[in-house]
Amino acid sequence: MMIPAQYLTKSPTNPSPPPPPPLLYPSRHHSNTRVSVIKCESQSPLELKPDNSLNKTNFKATTTGAGAGAVGPPPPYPGGVGPYTGRDPNVKKPEWLRQKAPQGKKYDEVKDSLSRLNLHTVCEEAQCPNIGECWNGGGDGVATATIMLLGDTCTRGCRFCAVKTSRNPPPPDPMEPYNTAKAIASWGVDYIVLTSVDRDDLPDGGSGHFAETVKAMKMLKPDIMVECLTSDFRGDLDAVSALARSGLDVFAHNIETVRRLQRIVRDPRAGYEQSLSVLKHAKLAKEGMITKSSIMLGLGETDEELKEAMADLRAIDVDILTLGQYLQPTPLHLTVKEYVTPEKFTFWKEYGESIGFQYVASGPLVRSSYRAGELFVKTMVRDRARSTSSASST
């Protein structure tokens, strides 16, 4: 006999699970979840200090969902949440940033190889505009991709990034170091970039997993040059040392933006001084280590602030700098304040090299793992290795 629906009740022994906690930095992967906005407990509206940071009145995170009442100030631009997101209708994407959809035989081969070995790339996860060029081989015909280790889910939520986030991502794949080395050896490349999501849930932040991957690659192909674009490992300098001494050739870590915009652009667990400390220690941990960093432009930084950031990187002897245009993945991410012209990027390249950087890759579509400076960096790695070897033998 069927029981009418109105007489059915949920068993008290199997209550519905509680709703998930709010995400402080919503991304495109969480468009159907509860999201957080900032609510001011005082009766005064949100105000900005002269340096664009929020006044320290009493704020708290408040969840909203479908049908919930609006809280906090309305976003300044359409499609956004909070004071820093949405798309500014007055800032139009210029022609020099328009790219064709990726396609081609080599592109399909790389995509298939990555899929078979269950590997992730920052090219796909971060929606890199250069994916077609790199996967199809660029000008030299050698296809390459930037492998993203430790899964595809990050424990942090920076406002510029399209990678999906979670407080408790799946555990790392123990076969990933070997599978990564196997895939890269099959591509026939002699320079590779490894990167990763942030893994604050791991005791060493994932440093050991990185190091295992580097060692596996060097074992399968001893002459390959390896660059690791790393997280800050929560400022753990022992974790930095472990990776720097794993056989790595280039240690890269991005400060992302100028000092003033750090708390707006990056997750609160990241920081300007912490990033500088990581880069400085990587240089000290291994003699001859080449260090590299990257800054996004178009977030509202001034010329003087950018010069200051470049000077700070040179003060700790960072060798290589990349500068590229910030591109907004979705309206829920940071608003683009300016599209910097190719001519201005050329100026910054010349300025950076004039103050001591060994190489500056600067252009609207340049990314921290971009292959534009690959030939230069390979030569630099060989020269640095020779000079270090000569010094140690005398």
For residue 307, which amino acid is it? K
CA torsion angle 270 273 278 280 (round to 10): 160
* Bridge partners, 290 (sequence order): 250
Q: What is the DSSP string of 75-115?
A: PSSTT-SSTTBS--TT-PPPGGG--PPP-SHHHHHHHHHHH
Annotated binding residue 40: no
Q: How many CB atoms lie within 10 A of CB 273?
A: 12
Going by C-alpha positions, the residue among 147, 201, 209, 205 that lies closest to residue 174 is 209
Is 158 annotated to bind ligand? yes
* CA distances from residue 15 to 9, 11, 22 in whole angstroms, order as listed: 11, 7, 21
How far the first Cα of the chain sits from its last, in Å, is 93
**251 burial level (CB within 10 Å; 0-12, 13-18, 19+):** buried
Is 228 annotated in some ligand binding site? no
Residue with tokens 């280039």: 250
Helix (H) or strand (E) segment spanning residue 220: helix 207-220
Under DSSP, is residue 261 helix (H, G, I), strand (E, B) or coil? helix
Evaluate whether 259 touches 270 at the Cβ level (below 8 Å). Answer: no
Phi/psi for 227 (5° steps) reads -110, 135
Burial of 62 (0-12, 13-18, 19+ CB in 10 A): middle
Contacts 24+ apart (CB under 8 A), 62-71: 62/36, 62/37, 62/38, 63/22, 63/34, 63/35, 63/36, 64/34, 64/35, 64/36, 64/37, 65/34, 71/37, 71/39
Binding residues: 123, 128, 134, 154, 158, 161, 369
> Which parts are annotated binding residues for [4Fe-4S] cluster?
123, 128, 134, 154, 158, 161, 369
